[in-house]
């Protein structure tokens, strides 16, 4: 059993390393490409005209002057692309790592706002996780705990 | 409430956990009447999908009775007997609108994990790790059903619990493999795996008009069950060369459609199995794809291979040369249950699709750890353990 547990820890480590590696590689590519002006874009399944007819969903409007927001029609009747860019740029390199570790990464708010806005536009609400979970935090699952606590704030968006 | 929880690698327990409650307006709460093990759960038990936390409730294939509905639920009432798709989908995004429910944009509360791993995040799934949303599973007395109008379906009076249970996941998964694999009248179809999903894929192929359906496994009791209840031919791969046998039975062409219903812990014969085991245990590859390799190699030129088995990460020695040079179509998906469940319930009511035989072991929830042991080790001719909370 200890071998299996060791393998599981190894799997966690491998998964964590893979995630971290992918994230760092993405950051590196962003830096080379001038990532401080990157737009964060997702598509919602609603026509541009209908979206423009009303105010922005609250999660996006709450970002206020910190961001530029653009709406454009998606090709093939796929809805509307919502693009958001931080006006003051984004942290890169070590500052990006520090921002994430300290919970000060401004991209977190952008990603969460985009994902929650899509849910609100398409379904009328944002799906919540169980408020009374059955699981327990342990030393081994702390990295997973971090990932779930930022479940809508991290990723490639 | 009582529930079966994941406690660590190859450790489960039945214990008290908080009752679920309505968290969203489109939620409902279902009292679970039956919930079944699934081969894909074994990947969670074995630690192959490292996104579980101690205490997570397992189970994703179930049916039950509605006991509470959220204010925006329109299609269900307290007391309804419902079967629920294992995938959680909103029904409103582009993917759901195009019947690709498992790719839903709004059904996973932790999209960052799978988006980072795979490039895009699929929808959520009950009891299937925090990568798929962290929702409590169905091996419990009660379960929260988000987007209830989309994912839950009232069971016709003429369909028993025993039969309808498998409309939650196994039957739609199998049907999807045959449907999206493009099975049509006159085809020869080969299915790797004679578990519940493989049997359902074979039955779907028969009902879609395939002329011959051949199911491959290593357990005689599962193959005998498949011949008896599904009406398919079988091959035991431990006794003969599958590729030689398929070549012989298909006039040298190879099967038109090959459906893989095994997943990341595939067994096989010969040195490749040892190679895959060593690399997987050392985490030098995450998944063992031997059935996928075999399917690709056996498939006829310009045929289709559909990957139904669950894979999580990287595989090794993927025969891309065969895919390219034979002009194969390789397709896959988590199951788009909402697309098929109403049709499957109709077929169940008409007696075209029977599933009761799959539930070889029916146990009270408190005996679920035993049920998983039987299921995992294929003891006592187990195909599926079903729990009654």
Per residue in A46-90, pLDDT (tens digit) is 999 999 999 999 999 999 999 999 999 999 999 999 999 999 988
- Beta-carbon contacts of B333 under 8 Å, excluding residues fewer than 6 positions away, are B100, B102, B103, B176, B180
Count of structural domains, chain A = 1
Interface of B with A in 38-97 (CB under 8 A): 46-48, 50-57, 72, 88, 90-94, 97
How far away is chain A from the Cα of B258, in angstroms, using its nearest Cα?
31
Domain range for residue A46?
Answer: 2-149
Together in a domain, B115 and B19: yes
Together in a domain, B322 and B224: yes
Q: Is residue A157 part of a domain?
A: no
Q: Which residues pair with B144 in a beta bridge?
A: B29
Together in a domain, B133 and B259: no
Encoding tokens for residue A150?
């930022």
Q: Are A157 and A42 in contact (CB under 8 A)?
A: yes
Report pLDDT for B131: 95
Angle between helix B196-207 and B220-229 (nearest 10): 30
The residue ranking higher by pLDDT, A38 or B211, is B211
Report pLDDT for A39: 96
Closest by CA position to B8, among listed B369, B383, B377, B386: B369
How far is Cα of residue B60 from the mean position of the Cα atoms in its chain?
9
Q: Is residue A155 part of a domain?
A: no
Domain range for residue B155?
Answer: 2-169+335-388
Interface of B with A in 288-347 (CB under 8 A): 313
Residue ranges, chain B, pLDDT below 50: none
Report pLDDT for A12: 45
How far away is chain A from the Cα of B241, in angstroms, using its nearest Cα?
32
Cα gap B49→B43, rounded to integer Å:
6
Chain B interface disruption, residue of A10, A107, A123, A141, most B CBs within 10 A: A123
Report pLDDT for A32: 46
* pLDDT above 60 for A36: no
Closest by CA position to B113, among listed A150, A14, A115: A150
Together in a domain, B137 and B17: yes
Predicted TM-score of the model (pTM)? 0.91
Encoding tokens for residue A45?
């399944």
> Which SS3 state, helix, strand or coil, does residue B102 take?
helix
Report pLDDT for A95: 85
Classify residue B75 as exposed, middle or buried by CB count within 10 Å of its CB (0-12, 13-18, 19+): middle
Report pLDDT for A22: 54
Q: Which of A26-30, A34-38, B289-293 has the lowest mean pLDDT?
A: A26-30
* B23 touches A: beta carbon within 8 Å: yes
Cα gap B344→B164, rounded to integer Å:
9
CATH number for the domain that contains residue B206: 3.40.50.720
Which of B93, B111, B119 lies closest to A45 in CB terms? Answer: B93
Encoding tokens for residue B45?
């038990």
Q: Are B165 and B103 in contact (CB under 8 A)?
A: no
Cα gap B144→B114, rounded to integer Å:
22
* pLDDT above 80 for A20: no
Q: Binning pLDDT at 50, 70 and 90, where does residue A8 land?
A: very low
What is the average per-residue pLDDT within A124-149?
Answer: 89
* pLDDT above 50 for A1: no
């Amino acid at each position: 059993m200890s071998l299996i547990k060791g393998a599981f820890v190894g799997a966690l480590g491998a998964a964590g390393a893979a995630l971290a590696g992918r994230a760092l590689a993405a950051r590196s590519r962003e830096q080379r490409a001038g990532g401080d002006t990157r737009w964060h874009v997702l598509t919602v399944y609603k026509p541009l005209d209908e979206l423009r007819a009303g105010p922005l969903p609250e999660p996006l409007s709450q970002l206020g002057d910190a961001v530029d927001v653009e709406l454009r029609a998606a090709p093939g009747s796929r809805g509307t692309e919502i693009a958001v860019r931080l006006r003051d740029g984004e942290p890169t390199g070590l500052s990006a790592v520090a921002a994430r570790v300290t919970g000060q990464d401004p991209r977190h708010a952008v990603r969460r706002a985009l994902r929650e806005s899509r849910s609100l536009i398409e379904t009328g609400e944002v799906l919540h996780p169980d408020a009374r979970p059955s699981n327990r935090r342990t030393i081994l699952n702390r990295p997973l705990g971090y990932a779930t606590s930022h479940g809508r704030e991290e990723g490639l968006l | 409430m009582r529930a079966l929880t994941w406690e660590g690698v190859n450790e489960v327990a039945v214990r008290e956990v908080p009752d679920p409650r309505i968290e969203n307006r489109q939620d409902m709460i279902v009292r679970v009447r039956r919930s079944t093990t699934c081969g894909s759960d074994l990947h969670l038990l074995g630690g192959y999908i490292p996104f579980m936390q101690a205490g997570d409730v397992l189970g994703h294939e179930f049916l039950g009775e509605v006991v509470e509905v959220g204010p925006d639920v329109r299609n269900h009432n307290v007391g309804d007997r419902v079967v629920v798709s294992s995938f959680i989908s909103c029904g409103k995004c582009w993917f759901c609108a195009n019947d690709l429910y498992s790719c839903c944009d709004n059904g996973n509360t932790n999209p960052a994990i799978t988006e980072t791993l795979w490039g895009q995040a699929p929808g959520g799934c009950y009891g299937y790790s925090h990568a798929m949303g962290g929702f409590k599973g169905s091996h419990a007395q009660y379960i929260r059903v988000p987007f209830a109008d989309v994912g839950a379906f009232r069971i016709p009076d003429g369909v028993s619990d025993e039969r309808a249970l498998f409309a939650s996941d196994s039957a739609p998964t199998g049907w999807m493999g045959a449907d999206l694999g493009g099975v049509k009248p006159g085809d020869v179809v080969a299915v790797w795996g004679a578990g519940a999903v493989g049997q359902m894929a074979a039955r779907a192929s028969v009902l879609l008009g395939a002329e011959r359906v051949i199911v491959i496994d290593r357990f005689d009791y599962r193959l005998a069950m498949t011949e008896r209840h599904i009406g398919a031919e079988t091959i035991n791969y431990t006794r003969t060369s599958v590729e030689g046998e398929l070549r012989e039975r298909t006039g040298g062409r190879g099967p038109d459609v090959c459906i893989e219903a095994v997943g990341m812990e595939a067994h096989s014969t010969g040195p490749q199995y040892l190679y895959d085991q060593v690399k997987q245990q050392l985490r030098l590859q995450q998944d063992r794809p031997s059935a996928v390799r075999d399917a690709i190699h056996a498939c006829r030129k310009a045929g289709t291979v559909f990957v139904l088995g669950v894979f999580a990460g990287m595989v090794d020695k993927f025969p891309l040369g065969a895919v390219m040079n034979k002009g194969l179509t390789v397709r896959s998906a988590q199951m788009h249950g909402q697309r098929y469940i109403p049709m499957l319930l109709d077929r169940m009511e008409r007696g075209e699709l029977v599933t009761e035989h799959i539930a070889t072991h029916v146990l009270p929830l408190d005996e679920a750890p035993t049920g998983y042991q039987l299921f995992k080790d294929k003891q006592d001719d187990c195909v599926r353990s079903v729990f009654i909370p």
